[in-house]
Amino acid sequence: MEKFIFPILLTYLLNIPLSPITLAHQTQPTLKTPQISQQPTPEDIENQNNEARIRIQTAWESGHYNQAYQFIQTITDTSTKIQLLRDLAKAYLAVGQKKPAANLILQAVELSQKTDSSDLSYWIGELFTIGEAEKGKALLKTISNNEYELAFAHQSIAQAYLNFGQYSEALKYARLIPGGVLLPLPEYTDPKVELLNDIINKSLKAGEPKLALQVTTALDGKDDRVYALQTIAEYYQNNGNKKQAILMLDIALSVAKTIESISVVPERSLFWIEPNDSILVNLANRYIELGDRAKGLQILSLAIESVRKFENQYAFDIPVWHKSKALVQISRSYLKLGEKDKAKELIAKSLLEAETIQGNYYKIQELIGIAQKHTEIGECKTSTEILEKTLPLIETIESESDKISFLMAIRKELIQIEEKEKAEQVFQKALFLIETTESESEKIIYLIPIVNTYINTNQNQLATKLARRILGMIQRLDSQDARRLRLEELVVNCLDKENLTLAVEIIQSLPLKEDRARMLFAIALRYADMGNSALASQFLSQALASVDSIIDKEERDMLLAQTTRNIASIYYISSQNPVVEPWRYNLATQLINAISNPQAKAEMLIDIAIQYRKLGDIKLSNRILDTAFTAGKTIEPKEAWQTKLLELSNIGIQEENYDLVLQFVKRIEDVGYQTVILRQIAQKYQIEGNKKKAEEILAQGIEVANQIEDESGRQEALVGIGEQQNGW
């Protein structure tokens, strides 16, 4: 493996020797500084500070902690210096070196006190975790009269203990935070709630459900408490302890019954209250999952009563919560249980409630939805009556586009219940409105879905005639982007599972090979959305065979990348992406391999590898990673790929995906960086209580550290590892 040149770059960047410098040294190094003929501007100073931060971070990420410290001493801006001392302390703590971290924190505290810094409350917690609790308590007293700063300080202490696996201590200080003080904005989740939920999740992961139960008592909101108790119930259920799971649900139910209303604040200017029915329905479903059907039905009855007592809620004349929709949602649970008569009763009640909704636009929406529910339960006659009753209301709607949308929705429902004659009458009304639309671009939007409607009702001649007409209209559009977008929509709406003739005809009529390729990708994506893996694969193969017709490489890569994201539901490198069927990842991999940009290819392949890992296919995941790393080697400049691997490693550690990070570490060429990452992973395992794994990873760290060529760098790493081991 070619030797990476981070140590040389580091020496150049810092302009300091590679000799070890301990925290005991307070003298500043001699640096070559350019002569400045005038006083530096604030912008100059800010730029210098930013450069310093980058250099210092580069130093500690590669294991040169002493050099990072020495360079911090050259910083003249006090606030920047305090922050960098704190950051370096965190870097030491991440590899289990508490002693140098403590020295740095104490220096930062001393500087903060001299400058009357108000930032102390944000990171005072680190004093507690380094064994300086008394000093931390003394500092707490200095801000005891400031509720805001004190809350942040307690959050800092709780978070610091949480980071070190001391969950009981974290809870102790989290309890001291008043609700709503950390972020007094109702449209956002209170950071206290997020902190307590984090403690619950970490406690459960550590096998401490009793502690997690204690944490729920610190949650101020009853709804938050109910959700947390359900999380603990799920933990017990997954571990085969049904009795304890039901006990947690019983506690949650007792809390849920006392909830009179729930505040909903999606944004600052929009808020309303709702009853506790959604919470009760969720609990009912949990009981049913655990086999207690009777209890589930009992709770559903409570949910109905809760809805009955509540009034419809409006915000800016919009019905944001109303009984009709709530009753329909509860009916779904009854249908799942086979309680069809009860579901019918609720749907009938929802119809009566829908009549009370203010505003015909919203009333129409709800009535169409209720008609759909009647169709689901076989009440087609009632469904027809509701839809016919809705038609006069549509006449009161001002927007022509809304009228068309409603009429087409009603037509679709009427076709489903085989009221073809009535459906045709509604369709003709919609068609009249469409044809009288002045804007041709708008008319195209309305007409395209009708092609698919004709196909679905076996009116293939009408479908072909209309598709050809729309194609001519599209070709008259001024914007190339608009033409491509509408062409994709047209082709997709021409699809039929058994007969692809019309879609193929439209594609073949396009003069540009580039456009034909785009349409093939659109069809492949559409079939993927429909869950038809065979046709999706067939059209994707055709699309890939013609992809070179898109001459602009950047544009081609963008198309491939976007199609990949849509097919595989991946949007960024994160463990939060949903897991989908394996065949989607197979198609996505084919698409990615056609991407010419090596960095885009490597990053997206890594994301696919992460998804295969979630599916448990480690072997295939590693094969795809190897392909990604091969692509990564061709990235220029070389440092860009190494930097990306470091970034991915940091993300993986944060998301506790250590197995994946170990794959990245193997490809990082600088052994200093490798050593630091291995030490960080080992420390994480130690905090989680997995001492065996911690020792195994740290042994790898020692092996790598011994490969550091620079004597002083090697000794610093090995001494640090010794301190880390002693701390265990």
Dump pLDDT digits (tens) for 180-197. Answer: 999 888 888 999 999 999
- Name the residue among 468, 405, 481 with its Cα closest to residue 437: 405
Dump pLDDT digits (tens) for 292-324. Answer: 999 999 999 999 999 999 999 999 889 999 999
**Mean pLDDT, all residues of the chain:** 89
pLDDT for 101 equals 93
Burial 343-358 (b: 16+ CB within 10 A, else e): bbebbebbbebbeebe
pLDDT for 500 equals 83
Query: Does position 429 have pLDDT exceeding 70, yes or no?
Result: yes
pLDDT for 33 equals 43
> 399 phi and psi, to 5 degrees?
-70, 125
pLDDT category at 77 given cuts 50, 70, 90 is confident
pLDDT for 573 equals 52
Q: Are 490 and 502 in contact (CB under 8 A)?
A: no
pLDDT for 15 equals 39
pLDDT for 4 equals 38
pLDDT for 116 equals 65
- Name the residue among 601, 600, 622 with its Cα closest to residue 610: 622
pLDDT for 233 equals 98
Dump pLDDT digits (tens) for 624-640. Answer: 999 999 999 999 999 99
Q: Are 533 and 590 in contact (CB under 8 A)?
A: no
> 396 phi and psi, to 5 degrees?
-85, -5
pLDDT (mean) for 547-575:
85
Dump pLDDT digits (tens) for 382-404. Answer: 999 999 999 999 999 999 999 99
pLDDT for 179 equals 92
- Cα–Cα dist 11/24, whole Å: 22
- Cα–Cα dist 546/236, whole Å: 53
Alpha-helical segments (H) within 595-710: 598-614, 618-632, 638-654, 658-667, 671-687, 691-705
- Cα–Cα dist 644/627, whole Å: 16
Dump pLDDT digits (tens) for 468-487. Answer: 999 999 999 999 899 999 99
Query: Does position 5 have pLDDT exceeding 70, yes or no?
Result: no
- Cα–Cα dist 656/658, whole Å: 6
pLDDT for 112 equals 82
**Measured CA distances, 301 to 212, 234, 294, 305, 324 (Å):** 30, 23, 11, 6, 16
User: DSSP characters for 424-480?
Assistant: HHHHHHHHHHHHT-S-HHHHHHHHHHHHHHHHHTT-HHHHHHHHHHHHHHHHT-S-H
pLDDT for 143 equals 86
Rg of the chain's alpha carbons, rounded to an integer? Answer: 32
pLDDT for 280 equals 98
Q: Which domains does the chain have, with CATH numbers?
A: 221-351 (1.25.40)
pLDDT for 30 equals 37
Dump pLDDT digits (tens) for 26-47. Answer: 333 333 444 444 677 878 777 8
Pairwise pLDDT comparison (283 vs 108), residue with the higher score: 283
Query: Does position 571 have pLDDT exceeding 90, yes or no?
Result: no
pLDDT for 115 equals 78
What is the pTM (predicted TM-score) of this model?
Answer: 0.83
Query: Does position 692 have pLDDT exceeding 90, yes or no?
Result: yes
- Cα–Cα dist 47/720, whole Å: 32
- Cα–Cα dist 390/384, whole Å: 10
Cα 532–chain centre separation:
27
Dump pLDDT digits (tens) for 694-717. Answer: 999 999 999 999 999 999 999 999
Dump pLDDT digits (tens) for 444-461. Answer: 999 999 999 889 888 999
**Measured CA distances, 660 to 589, 621, 671, 686 (Å):** 18, 10, 18, 18
Q: Are 526 and 556 in contact (CB under 8 A)?
A: no
Pairwise pLDDT comparison (396 vs 49), residue with the higher score: 396
pLDDT category at 25 given cuts 50, 70, 90 is very low
pLDDT for 31 equals 36
pLDDT category at 129 given cuts 50, 70, 90 is confident
Dump pLDDT digits (tens) for 409-420. Answer: 999 999 999 999
Query: Does position 341 have pLDDT exceeding 70, yes or no?
Result: yes
Query: Does position 210 have pLDDT exceeding 50, yes or no?
Result: yes
Give SS3 for 509: coil
Residues found in the chain = 728
